[in-house]
A and B are shown apart, each in its own frame.
Chain A
Amino acid sequence: AQKVTQTQTSISVVEKTTVTMDCVYETRDSSYFLFWYKQTASGEIVFLIRQDSYKKENATVGHYSLNFQKPKSSIGLIITATQIEDSAVYFCAMRERSNNRIFFGDGTQLVVKP
C-alpha cells in the first residue's frame, strides 16, 4: 500500500508566483517526521524542509513553507516567489519513529516559466 501519495504529477507556473504541492500520508505511528526533497536536473536529491508530527507550527525555511494538516494526514509544500531554478521534481517523504524506513511519494514535476 502506498504510504505517501502525491497526486499532482506535474505543475507549471509563471515565475514569481506561489505554488502549492500536495502530499498525503498514511501511518499508524503516533510520532513521525515529514520531509520534502528536491531533485534537480542533474539528478541530485537535496533536502528542503521538515515537519515533526508533534509540532503544531508549520515549518518555514527561506521561500519554502509547509501546510501541515494533521487530521487530514496532509503535508503540502508551498513555494512563494518562485524562480526558474525552482524547476525540479519534488518528493514528499515520511519517516515513522518506530522504524528505519523512509517512504517517498512518486514526485511532482514543477516547471517554472518566465
Chain B
Amino acid sequence: ETAVFQTPNYHVTQVGNEVSFNCKQTLGHDTMYWYKQDSKKLLKIMFSYNNKQLIVNETVPRRFSPQSSDKAHLNLRIKSVEPEDSAVYLCASSTPEGANTEVFFGKGTRLTVV
C-alpha cells in the first residue's frame, strides 16, 4: 500500500524550463528525502530534510532545491533543467535519526528533458 505519493508520474520539458515535483507522505514520518535514479539504476541521494535540518548532497547542482510546507510534504524544484537532469526522481520518508525503520519510497517521477 502506497503511503508516499508523488506527482506527476511523468514530465517532459525543454531545456531551460523550471519544473516542480510534489511529494506527500501519510506515515507521520519526520524525515523526507529526494533521490535521483539514473538510467543505470544508480540511486543517489540529493536531499534529506526534517524540521530541524536540511542536508544537501554536495554534488547536487544549485538549480535543484527542496521546498517544504510541513513535515508531510517535500517538493523538488529544478530552476532551469539541463539534459542530464533526465532521470527518475524518487521521494522517500522515514522516522527520525537513530531509528531502525526502513525508508518508504514513492513510485517516482520520470523527467525527460528534450
Residues in chain A within 8 A of chain B (CB atoms): 33, 35, 37, 39, 42-47, 50, 52, 89, 91, 93, 95, 97-104, 106-107, 109
B31 contacts A33, C-beta separation under 8 Å: no
- Residues on the B chain within 8 Å of A46, using CB: 105
B103 contacts A98, C-beta separation under 8 Å: no
* Most chain B CB neighbours (cut-off 10 Å) among A45, A93, A107: A45
Q: How many A-B residue pairs have CB under 8 A?
A: 58
Interface of A is mostly: strand
Stretch at the interface among B16-24, B66-74, B89-97: B89-97
- Residues on the B chain within 8 Å of A42, using CB: 107
B50 contacts A35, C-beta separation under 8 Å: no
Chain B, Cβ-Cβ closest to A105: B43
Alpha-carbon gap, A106 to B100, bound state (A): 21
A101 contacts B45, C-beta separation under 8 Å: yes
